[in-house]
Amino acid sequence: MSTPNVRKRLAAYAVAMLAGVSAVHVVIILSDQQITLASQLALVVVAIGYFAFYWANYRPLQRVRFGHLITHAIGYVIVNGSYWVHAAYLWASGQGSVIDSAWYGLLFGMGLCWGLGLAIHARATFAGQGFEDAVVA
């Protein structure tokens, strides 16, 4: 698979992630801005899509410099960023009182744990040998 094809796949993946988290946030809005079982299950669907893309494109991503790390970073930024944007909107619009422990779990727990995993992934990628021979996208 050529590098431009991988770039197109990564772009489509980012759009799909944006669409998925947008649907999750619609579920949250319809639940009076509360994190509910329905919104968590919607997030699980997004997570399944995240992993499906990663595994379906495992080999092509190996051929692009930092391809796996880029995939990880796109998912992290879109998912965690979407929750922070939603929370910022709630605070700015005077609805900050709806942000409860479930929100804090998503904002801080998911962000910190996933961020730590991303940092470890980045460190391992940069320490690894052989990526210098990969095609630069």
Mean pLDDT of 20-46: 97
pLDDT above 60 (res 97): yes
Cα separation, 132 vs 114, whole angstroms: 26
For all residues of the chain together, what is the average pLDDT?
A: 91
Mean pLDDT of 6-13: 91
The pLDDT of residue 63: 84
Mean pLDDT of 66-90: 96
For residue 4, give the DSSP letter: H
Q: At what angle do helices 3-30 and 37-56 cross, to 10 degrees?
A: 170
Mean pLDDT of 12-27: 97
- Helix, strand or coil, per DSSP, at residue 134: coil
